[in-house]
Structure 1
Amino acid sequence: MADKNMVDEIGGKVAIITGAASGIGLATAELFTERGAKVVAVDLNPDVKKLASADLFPVVADVTTDGSAEMAVTAAVERFGRLDTLVNNAGYINYKEVVETSREEWEKVMAINSTGYFLFSREAMKVMLPQKSGAIVNIASYASYFAFKGIAPYAASKGAVAQLTRALALEAAPHGIRVNAIGSGDVVTNILDSFRDDGREFLVEHGKAAPIGRSAEPREIAEVVAFLASDRASFVVGSVFMVDGGFSVQIA
């Protein structure tokens, strides 16, 4: 049920959210449904099916596989009648220096973090163009601009997201569709769990280096997603909206 103290910014909208079984995606799916939106929640993890409700339709799919985006868009239109918002969030990271990174690892990161965004954006646009309305919100990163050792594939993929956002925004804006991204900083999620047991703890510690002195909770990013998806952000086009606790503005 929507919080009556919040602005009715996304009530009645229909959204596809990828990577929706955990982290930022889950927080965004929960926030959207709480505020009256309908959601198609996409994730490779079958746990996404546990979110099913009258307002949320789960789709188990790999965002990198041909047909997954088409399936999600079809589900939105057939279940809820339209598609207003796409949130590209599914993500993957490895922590290895370049000389230790295999081609397979490189391609996996790029496929999930950039190719998946392209595929879902392309299919969403096909529905949004006839409507002359819509919003695409891409979860980028402070690593879209900056880097540190061990994340070359991730940084490259998130740089691609920033440029995809800008280029697609130019194509979309004349048709009433806004495309923007969020330059997320450290967020306490399970994204590191594939290669370390203390992933959440590591993110908590790493976030202390930000000027704000902490990492974000997923809900804090979801709040910005809701804003960018809403009509309140009607003049925001092609932006990479930095939500990183100040990481990107400090020298050291």
Structure 2
Amino acid sequence: MTADLAGKVVVVTGAASGLGAATVSDVLERGGRVVAVDRAQEVKALAGDGVLPVVADAADERQVLDAVRAGEDAFGLVNGAVACAGITRAGTVDSMSLDTWNEVLRVNLTSVFLLAKAAVPAMRRAGGGALVAVASQVGLVGYPENVAYCAAKAGVINLVRAMSVDARDSGVRAVAVCPGPVDTPMLREGFEQTGEGYDLAASRVPLGRVARPEEISATICFLLSDAAAFVTGTAWTVDGGYTAQ
């Protein structure tokens, strides 16, 4: 896969750590520029040539819109967006509180809608672009004690499908990426909640291991690039064979 991102300005949410941070690094390596958005103050450490860090809540409509506009002001346009912000909370339908359910959907699904709502008009102004939303393999299949996260990620997949149809004449593409388990702080947080660990997670993957963040960000960068110009409205599974079982 070739993924030349010269001329691309990409808004990345959840940029301070994990898959978001890997995506920021990959976009820069491939010639793009980045608006790095995270509610954590640590995102400021990404400041440098080609990176505009913005401290913002990815699930706050005004803050996301301001971040996209800041990117247009700083770089002249925005023609890419990657929704990486996410949290996980363990629970079943009979054990999870409504507050926890709402929190998981707010961060994992509503934030994607808000990024699209802000970024798609900017992409139209730029003459086109691509939004890549990070879903999950558990948006395609169920997973024990993860009911809200599974529901949110399934919503992300169908959100990009609907977006791709609505944007058919605008030059804007929308794609979901469905990773398997990825070695990130969020995965480790999930282990703490469920009592699982790397060995159990790896045993469920035909390739026998969890993914490295850069293996997923490479796919994201391809989907942002012009090499993927005919890819929209679909979910790319990068899960080591998890959903093939």
TM range (shorter): over 0.9
Among 108, 112, 121, the residue aligned to 2:116: 121
Give the superposition deviation at 1:199.
Answer: 8.8
* Counterpart pick for 1:95 among 79, 83, 90: 90
In the alignment, the residues of structure 2 paired with residue 183 and residue 197 of structure 1 have an alpha-carbon distance, to the nearest angstrom, of 22
Equivalent-residue separation in structure 2 for 1:50 and 1:140 (angstroms) = 26
Whole-Å separation in 2 of the counterparts to 1:193 and 1:41: 23
TM-score (norm 1): 0.92
Match of 2:186, SS state, is coil
Q: Which residue of 1 aligns with 2:28?
A: 33
Which residue pairs with 1:49 in the alignment? 44
What's the secondary structure of 1:100's corresponding residue? Answer: coil
Aligned ranges for residues 60-75 of structure 1 at < 5 Å? 60-75=55-70
Partner residue of 1:23? 18
Distance 1:8 1:154, change over 3 A: closer
What TM-score do you get using the length of structure 2 for normalisation? 0.94
Matches of 2:184 and 2:213, distance apart in 1? 7
Q: Which residue of 2 aligns with 1:208?
A: 203
Alpha-carbon RMSD across the aligned residues, in angstroms, is 1.9
Cα distance, 1:225 vs. partner? 0.3
Change over 3 Å in CA distance of 1:198–1:219 after alignment to 2: farther
Contact 2:16 2:42 in 1 (8 A): yes
Residues 1:16 and 1:199: Cα distance change in structure 2 (over 3 Å): farther
Indicate the residue corresponding to 1:221 in structure 2. Answer: 216
For the residues of structure 1 that align with 2:195 and 2:121, how far apart are their CA atoms?
Answer: 37
Look up the match of 1:3: none
SS of structure 2 residue aligned to 1:95: coil
Query: Of 136, 147, 151, which aligns to 1:141?
Result: 136
Greater shift in the superposed pair: 53-62 or 6-15: 6-15
Deviation of 1:68 after TM superposition, in Å, equals 1.5
d(CA) in 2 for partners of 1:102, 1:57: 37
Runs of 5+ unmatched residues, structure 1? 1-5
Give the counterpart letter for 1:56 in structure 2. Answer: V
Contact kept in structure 1, 2:3 and 2:222, CA below 8 Å: no
Residues of 1 paired with 2:61 and 2:177: CA distance? 26
Amino acid of the structure 2 residue aligned with 1:110: L
- Which one of the candidate residues 48, 54, 58 is aligned to 1:59? 54
* In 1: Cα distance, 2:105 partner to 2:3 partner: 36
Corresponding residue SS for 1:118:
helix
Whether 2:174 is the aligned partner of 1:172: answer no
Partner of 2:145: 150
**Structure 1 position 105 matched with structure 2 position 100:** yes
SS of the residue corresponding to residue 173 of structure 1 reads: coil
* Cα 1:83–1:213 shift into 2, 3 Å: same
Contact 2:3/2:227 (<8 A) preserved: no
Equivalent pair of 2:91/2:146 in contact (CA under 8 Å): yes
Shift of 1:208: 2.9
Residue 96 of structure 1 and its aligned partner are, at CA, apart by 1.7
Identity of aligned residues (%): 36
Give the letter for the 1:67 counterpart. Answer: R
Q: Which has the higher contact order (CA 8 A, sep 6+)?
A: 2
Structure 2: give runs of 5+ residues left out of the alignment: none
Which secondary structure state, in structure 2, belongs to the residue aligned with residue 97 of structure 1?
coil
C-alpha deviations, 1:95-138, integer Å up to 9, x for none? 12222211110000000000010011011111112333100000
Q: Note if 1:14 corresponds to 2:14.
A: no
